[in-house]
Amino acid sequence: MANGLDLGTLDLMLEALGDFVHAALPEERQLELDHADTCPEDTVRAMCGDDLGVQLAFIPEEYGGLGGGAFDSYRICERLARLDLGLATSVFATFLGGDPILFGGTPEQKERWLGRIAKEGLLFAYGATEPEAGSDLGALRTTARPVEGGYRINGRKQWISNGSIADVCCVLALTPGGPSWFVVERGTEGFSSAVPEDKHGIRLSNTAALYLDEVFVPAENLVGLTEGRGLTQAQHVFGYTRLMVAAFGLGAGWEALDRAIGFSADRVQAGTPLAAKQGYTHKLIVPHAVRLEAARAFIEETATRIDAGEGAQGALNTEGAIAKYLASEAGNAAAEAAIQAHGGYGYTRPYLVEKIKRDVRITTIYEGTSEILEMTVARDRWQQHLKTRGAHHSGLARSVAALPAETGAGTAALALECLGALMETCRTERLTRNQHVLLRLGELIAYGEAAGSLARRAATALGGAPPEKTDRRFSPAVLSAISRVFAREAAMKIAEEGTRLVLGALSPDGTALRTGLEGPRLDAVHAAQPGLLADMDLIADVLYGRADL
């Protein structure tokens, strides 16, 4: 992966994005388009053309782009999502659609197609999902039959972003050699799209089914010129693409939360602003800010590792899954809380939090549902647990425990210790034969590892050497408080819900099990909770500008 943009270029891009979208799509226009279920294709094309050139950030320099890295892409995707998640989805679809070429194409294919994205602003689509093959790409029915000079493709694709506006689509089809990607241009005979879907949210994006009826593509449009590499090529990029969708959840969640913060600072109830009521801030604002920042810590850590070259061949797919799971769930919950925080106003369409909530919901579904991600995380970390004979999370716990105490590192380490003990109990009692147990382990693993990641982020900030392009909304002292709050939550969640999970797997007349979380560990989790309200008070004061820390 490229070293990425310099900080000045990234900042200019983020600023230009905001200026462009605010001018082209003010809030009133966004609401009109949302109500009409209309994608502003002219705006999307302008963003990917000479007017802005946002697509250049995702294209390597050798093909005419700016060569942005994973960290740059996360910052840009977060900014796009704060502006409008439907618009962000349309822009991201071009990047996703070009991925099979970027990661699996021949040099000539990359030069041809990626070069045209950079120079001409072509819009791409990613044609993988089918009516009967959503997250399970191996169940695809679309076929590509070899004929003289190329292939004839037949099938249907479903839920395709940019489906009826894309100039080019990368289509996954089953060849005699196995699943393979093909580049199909708009206007090719037999290639058509359905009427755009009437969606719950992201209504400013174009989503449509694609139909392929004896569509001929020349042999040189087979990505990589070798059959059977399609699923491998798709798997190679999940760590990266899921990180970008994680940034969508992060951006939309924070946009909703910031609107709730602004609303509650002005809204007076019973003689005082809502912002002054601890029952309001500590339920509807602070917990969601904490979980969003825990997700950010994991996103930034994973992006840094990808940019360092660790993500090759899909090596960080599990980390991408954790990042997306955390950020999309946190963003969706934050948007839900933002509606509640606005009261009746939040339930009405003129207030953008209503639209944001409908928009952000998709982040828990596309590019891997939360349930698929829970299973992905659980299966991978379960294998790690077995291979290391239970030492994987205990090793993580030791490294986190060595961080400065003010970051909540001791509690984060305790969460990881409890996680390791829970997984060992699941091993000895063979509880992972229950799919429900595996899914719930996926959630608890994500929380435990995020607690460690957030503690490391806070420690790096305290040390004065955070990543150059990191988000700097919160000072080191406030990041430490945020880390302490999340560490307490993660430890309690793993200990209490883990115990319930293990005991719940027993039959009603079963013998009680020792979970490895009882006694000293559970006592330690409870002993870590004092100070929670004081930390939440501090975070609330910073969010509302009542403290300058």
By annotation, the residues acting in catalysis are 367
Per the CB < 8 A criterion, the answer to whether 163 and 39 are in contact is no
- If we measure between CA atoms, which residue out of 325, 318, 256, 338 comes closest to residue 295? 325
- If we measure between CA atoms, which residue out of 194, 12, 32 comes closest to residue 43? 32
- Give the strand pairing for 268-269 and 272-273: antiparallel
Phi, psi of 211 (to 5 degrees): -120, 135
H helix or E strand, kind and range, residue 441: helix 435-462
- Angle of helix 409-428 relative to helix 435-462, nearest 10 degrees, comes to 160
Burial of 306-340, coded b for 16+ CB within 10 Å and e otherwise, reads: bbeeebeebebbbbbbbbbbbbbbbbbbbbbbbbe
Helix residue ranges per DSSP H, 58-174: 70-83, 85-104, 107-109, 115-120
In the block, tokens 């009261």 appear at 343
Per the CB < 8 A criterion, the answer to whether 97 and 166 are in contact is yes
Query: Strand ranges (DSSP E) for 134-186?
Result: 143-147, 150-161, 168-175, 178-185
H helix or E strand, kind and range, residue 447: helix 435-462
- Residue 506 has what DSSP assignment? S
Phi, psi of 487 (to 5 degrees): -60, -40
Give the Å distances, CA to CA, from 116 to 41, 503, 518, 522. Answer: 18, 58, 60, 58
Per the CB < 8 A criterion, the answer to whether 241 and 373 are in contact is no
Tokens of 383: 């294998």
Phi, psi of 183 (to 5 degrees): -95, 120
